[in-house]
Structure 1
Amino acid sequence: MKYSIRCLLWLLIATTQVFFANDGAYYASGNHLVPITDADIAVTKEILKVTRYKEEFLSVDVYYEFYNHGNDKKVLVGFEAPSPSGDVDGYPINGKHPYINRFSVEMNTVNLSYKTAIVSDSLYYKNGEILAKTENEVIGSDFNTNDPEFYYVYHFNANFKKGKNVIRHKYIFKLSGSVMDKYSFDYILTAANRWSNKQIDDFTLIVDMGNEASFSINKSFYSGNEDWEITGKGLKSFNKEREFTDFYIEEGSLTFHKKNFVSKDELYISSSRNFQYCQKEEFDAQECTIIPFDISFQEKLQDVKDEKSYKILRNLPYARRGYVFKTDFIQAYYQKQSWYTKNPTYVAELEPLTKAEKNWLKFLKANVSF
């Protein structure tokens, strides 16, 4: 096992925890499966799909193809997970991570059993065994539930036959958040370099944050906007100041595909609070020059200052879909939004809107006197 790579990874995890310590909650990270015992096994294909649901959770579904160049062998495979930190409850639940659920592994169509170990550092495998700690050992009188000083390793025995082997890996975890971000999460891509080929021969990443969603992906493992394909309807825009690509997805998902993929950095996705909505008790179009695309932020927009602001606000669902407004001041307002793209063929109709949008419009109308 390459301990230098592992130590760098765990340093990154520790840095992530410190970042969230004072202004939010870090719950969990996604991570690549890694070989705990040395093995001449290569990652030939990976399809990683991350899906946000119920606004506050992330579902991870990974399809792996591994190639065993030698004879049949048993390999101890692990999934390394840092403890949560910040405004969290860091106590283990039956020895497992408190915010990771529905963990499952299937290899060559057979469901595999797994165990969870609590470990104190990256060098947890010595002399043929995992140096696991008990809950009593890690939770003492001075235990800080907001900053646990231990990690989790989910591990299982994988019987690799000679040639191609398929593993399906799934789990769910709670999305992190902070004063700055409504939600955020990271996924450790560099851990894939610990397999024998030091890369993923054929890598596909699918990102589905839901319809009418806005979020950013840090420019780390990809070169530019052209590396991302939007399946459905949406807009992408590179933010030079923040070194992020901003995405506005009306419907659909994103896909990143790369052959001979060697990542030197990690995936980080966030949805910022600061520029998503004007932080006022009532919406004033004159002062609030930025309005959210993401449907989850419309709950903050429930009151207006004047009739002009109301007319702009009630047309937000149609602006998301690119409606070209005949009223000049409404068109001028939305034309300035970074996410707005004209769609001359779109006809504004109430019925095709989402249930959440229709309920919001109904509430808005009932609470104004214009």
Structure 2
Amino acid sequence: MKYIFLIVLTITALFAKANDGVFYASGNQLIPIQETDISITKEILKIERTTNNQFLVTVNYTFNNPKDQKELLVGFEAPSPAGDVDGTPKNGQHPYMTDFKVIFNGQPLPFQSSIVHTEEYFKNGQIQGLTEQEAKGDNFNKNEPNFFYVYHFNTKFKKGINTIKHSYRIDISAHFNTIFELHYLLTPATRWANKQIDDFTLILDLSDYYDYLIEQTFFTGFQNWTGATKILNSKKQSSFSEISKPIRVITGHNPVVFKQKNFSPKGELVIYATTDMEFLMSKSFDHTTMDIPFNVKNFIHKFETKNEDSYKILRNLPFARRGYVFKTPLIQQYYEKQEWYTANSKYKANINLLTDTEQKWLKTLKQKHQL
């Protein structure tokens, strides 16, 4: 007997319409089919930002099948992109998802991508896919396609331990008030026999020296998180919930890791980095009235300062991001008031070890200040 179970992943650059921005993938509900025999004993989910415009997603599952061999059709849904973006399929596949790979019990598996337009696409033991021409129809709107994709592959779960590893890349976009936004559906794990992941690990390697928010949808507090330079309760109200606030994560070199045993998520993973519009829109930086952002994206175009003291503080921002302890009281006192700052007495400032982006920004800042 053949069953279907969908592992659903969604990474979203943003929610937007018209020309406000684009999103490359968004969420969809699972087909409500429950797997009653096979359990997830372990999952390691890694989301890595590999370039300025892509995420690499790698998921390692370990399953236990206590009964005889069972054939399953496994896959996940990838909704169409929408907004100010061309959502036309590429060879029948998602236009912004690439390098999709599946390894089952150590062996590569072929997969198929089907275009569907209804959640009830699995009928009579088959996925009711459409051709690209059928999906587009006569009045195709490339900015708002009315279909989505199902990536699926056949597996034969042997008795005992089985593993699936799948990975792919998906593009990131931007919005006027969001640097990036990332969603991952965790609750499908509860549809397996044990209704949980016995041993769950989430690894977020989104960027060195970065500042982002994580909604408290599947966790509460900081206790299961490691690797961050600092974790705070965000002062900002959640963009997705009226009853909770996200945590604010400040990163250094290390990935941020979440671990939990007997993980039965009640909500999904939602991560986003916000644009500091007040800082970006200000004519010049004034240290007496303004906080300074941590993310490079929020200060990379700021060169004007109100006075000499503000200039001294601004030009030392790359070193403050790494925890440098300043000997000048004015600078040290300012950065100690910044929520993201963490003093590191072992850090020795070296301009040559800053990122290329920071070095170019510093060079331009100094040039403009000398004019």
Output the TM-score relative to the length of structure 2: 0.89
Matched, 1:239 2:234: yes
Residue identity opposite 2:284 in structure 1:
E
Unaligned runs of 5+ in 1: none
CA 1:227–1:311 in structure 2 vs 1: closer, same or farther (change >3 Å)? Answer: same
**Bigger share in strand:** 1
Matched, 1:269 2:246: no
- Contact persistence 1:202–1:260 (CA under 8 A): yes
Deviates more, 1:138-147 or 1:261-270: 138-147
Identity %: 44
Residue identity opposite 2:263 in structure 1:
F
Cα offset for 1:368? Answer: 1.4
Q: What does residue 16 of structure 2 align with?
A: 20
Q: What does residue 115 of structure 2 align with?
A: 118
- Contact persistence 1:225–1:238 (CA under 8 A): no
Residue identity opposite 1:237 in structure 2:
L
Cα offset for 1:37? Answer: 9.1
Output the TM-score relative to the length of structure 1: 0.89
Give me the whole-angstrom Cα distance separating, in 2, the residues matched to 1:336 and 1:139.
55
Please list the CA deviations of residues 27-63 of structure 1 after superposition, one character each: whole Å capped at 9, or x if unmatched. Answer: 1258999997956221111000001121221110111
Please list the CA deviations of residues 209-228 of structure 1 after superposition, one character each: whole Å capped at 9, or x if unmatched. Answer: 11111111111001112221
Q: What does residue 161 of structure 1 align with?
A: 158
CA 1:270–1:280 in structure 2 vs 1: closer, same or farther (change >3 Å)? Answer: same
Give me the whole-angstrom Cα distance separating, in 1, the residues matched to 2:173 and 2:33.
28
Cα offset for 1:201? Answer: 1.1
Q: What does residue 66 of structure 2 align with?
A: 69
Give me the whole-angstrom Cα distance separating, in 2, the residues matched to 1:33 and 1:70.
25
Give me the whole-angstrom Cα distance separating, in 1, the residues matched to 2:69 and 2:272.
42
Give me the whole-angstrom Cα distance separating, in 2, the residues matched to 1:189 and 1:147.
26
Q: What does residue 203 of structure 2 align with?
A: 206
Give me the whole-angstrom Cα distance separating, in 2, the residues matched to 1:244 and 1:96.
34
Cα offset for 1:71? Answer: 1.1
Q: What does residue 369 of structure 1 align with?
A: 370
Number of residue pairs matched? 361
Cα offset for 1:164? Answer: 0.2
CA 1:117–1:136 in structure 2 vs 1: closer, same or farther (change >3 Å)? Answer: same
CA RMSD between the two structures:
3.0
CA 1:212–1:31 in structure 2 vs 1: closer, same or farther (change >3 Å)? Answer: farther
Q: What does residue 55 of structure 1 align with?
A: 52
Q: What does residue 315 of structure 1 align with?
A: 316
Deviates more, 1:269-278 or 1:313-322: 269-278
Matched, 1:279 2:281: yes
**Which of 252, 255, 279 pairs up with 1:253?**
255
Cα offset for 1:205? Answer: 0.4
Cα offset for 1:26? Answer: 1.1
Residue identity opposite 2:271 in structure 1:
I
Q: Write out aligned runs for 1:111-190 (5 A).
A: 111-190=108-187
Give me the whole-angstrom Cα distance separating, in 2, the residues matched to 1:33 and 1:101.
22
Q: What does residue 241 of structure 2 align with?
A: none
Deviates more, 1:24-33 or 1:47-56: 24-33
CA 1:353–1:32 in structure 2 vs 1: closer, same or farther (change >3 Å)? Answer: farther
Give me the whole-angstrom Cα distance separating, in 2, the residues matched to 1:54 and 1:268.
20
Q: Secondary structure at the match of 1:317?
A: helix
Residue identity opposite 1:185 in structure 2:
L
Deviates more, 1:193-202 or 1:90-99: 193-202
- Contact persistence 1:33–1:78 (CA under 8 A): no
Q: Secondary structure at the match of 1:250?
A: coil
Q: What does residue 351 of structure 1 align with?
A: 352
- Contact persistence 1:34–1:192 (CA under 8 A): no
- Contact persistence 2:59–2:165 (CA under 8 A): yes
Give me the whole-angstrom Cα distance separating, in 1, the residues matched to 2:362 and 2:29.
43
Cα offset for 1:319? Answer: 0.8
Cα offset for 1:104? Answer: 0.3
Deviates more, 1:356-365 or 1:92-101: 356-365
Please list the CA deviations of residues 70-115 of structure 1 after superposition, one character each: whole Å capped at 9, or x if unmatched. Answer: 1112211111111111222111111101111110000111100000
Q: Secondary structure at the match of 2:351?
A: coil
Matched, 1:81 2:78: yes
Cα offset for 1:293? Answer: 1.2
Give me the whole-angstrom Cα distance separating, in 2, the residues matched to 1:295 and 1:2.
47
Residue identity opposite 2:83 in structure 1:
G
